[in-house]
């Protein structure tokens, strides 16, 4: 169970993305309030983006239609492989005002060292960190 001060992924009502947030309030075993680590806005905890159903009873799509999910082991192997031979001192500091390219090495103040894996659109990138993939903003 998460406690106050820990990071958790939540839907940001300002950024309109699933991003890392810091837990501000927990009642019982339920996270109630968070603040976004990207834009610093405070809001209620939303564990999924709007429109997603929790416990959706519809039949899931066939495995042929679903993208393969990376296991924790393969994710850490990918991370180690991507950083192999790269100097952490050459990593660019993360800022939403900066523009990043595929395979750029990023030093994020919260998540640490990461590698840009996907350019989602003009304002979003997926970055692989030691703890997993995070969607970040860039030059918006």
Closest CA to 103 of 125, 123, 121: 125
Which of 82, 18, 3, 8 minimizes the C-alpha distance to 49? 18
Q: Report pLDDT for 48.
A: 87
Question: Where exactly are the structural domains of the chain?
Answer: 7-44, 72-137
Secondary structure class of 74 (helix, strand, coil): helix
Q: How high is the pLDDT of residue 55?
A: 58
And the tokens for 119? 């350019």
| Per-residue confidence in pLDDT tens, the chain, 140 aa | 678 888 999 999 888 888 999 999 998 889 999 999 989 899 999 988 887 666 555 555 554 444 544 444 456 668 888 888 888 899 999 999 999 999 999 999 999 999 999 988 888 999 999 888 999 998 86
Distance of CA 57 to the CA centre of its chain: 26
For residue 139, the model assigns a pLDDT of 82
Sequence-ordered list of residues with C-beta below 8 angstroms from that of 112, at least 6 positions apart, any chain? 129, 130
DSSP SS3 for 15 = coil
């Amino acid at each position: 169970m998460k406690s106050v001060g820990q990071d958790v992924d939540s839907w940001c009502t300002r950024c309109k993305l699933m991003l890392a947030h810091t837990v501000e309030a927990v009642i019982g075993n339920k996270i109630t309030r968070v603040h976004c680590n990207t834009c610093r806005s405070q809001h209620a905890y939303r564990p999924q983006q709007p429109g997603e159903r929790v416990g959706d009873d519809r039949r899931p799509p066939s495995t042929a239609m679903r993208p393969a999910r990376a296991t924790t082991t393969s994710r850490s192997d990918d991370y180690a492989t991507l950083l192999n031979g790269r100097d952490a001192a050459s990593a660019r500091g993360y800022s939403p005002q900066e523009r990043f390219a595929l395979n750029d090495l990023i030093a994020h103040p919260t998540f640490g060292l990461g590698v840009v894996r996907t350019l989602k659109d003009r304002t979003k990138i997926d970055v692989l960190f030691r703890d997993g993939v995070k969607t970040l903003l860039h030059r918006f």
